[in-house]
Amino acid sequence: MLPTPRKYFLTAASAEGNSHLTAFDNALLAGGIGNINLIRVSSILPPGAKYDAGLAIPAGSLVPVAYGHIISETPGELIAAAVGIAIGANSLGVIMEFAGHCPEQEARDKIKEMLDEAFGSRGIEMVDSKIASVEHRVEKIACALAAVPMWY
């Protein structure tokens, strides 16, 4: 069994590459999470987890991460990614992620809508929220990524 993460941060970045994989890798590097191994998780922030903007995760670590990303190889296309967290009055946290062919503000608006719906569905009052987002105009092959890495 894995331990429950106690810290998290939000990141959003974009980058170009010569392939889909290198565009993704370069976006991870630009977001400060390129030297860790991502374990993709669903969208619950552990109760009591604390936001730590300066969180340093050791290279090579296996890290639970909720993320959304999009890759495009259509020059001139606008892509965006966003991630948001919200914490309820009972300390339950929800993470929502989105990526699409749209401006950054639209991605942010979709995150806000999804967080509101998630708390409405749970019947819990939202007391805090944070959103990170990015948009990118594709030159060759690009990736936009937004993520919530969690650590112990």
Q: Catalytic: 121?
A: no
Q: Say which of 16, 43, 73, 106 is annotated catalytic.
A: 43
Q: Say which of 14, 97, 104, 133 is annotated catalytic.
A: 97
Decide: residue 83, CB within 10 A, 0-12 exposed, 13-18 middle, 19+ buried. buried
Q: Catalytic: 37?
A: yes
Evaluate whether 135 touches 104 at the Cβ level (below 8 Å): yes
User: Which of 32, 21, 4 lies closest to 146, judged by CA?
Assistant: 32
Q: Say which of 18, 35, 37, 91 is annotated catalytic.
A: 37
Helix (H), strand (E) at residue 14: strand 11-16
79 CB neighbour count, 10 Å cutoff: 26
Q: Which residues are catalytic?
A: 37, 42-43, 97
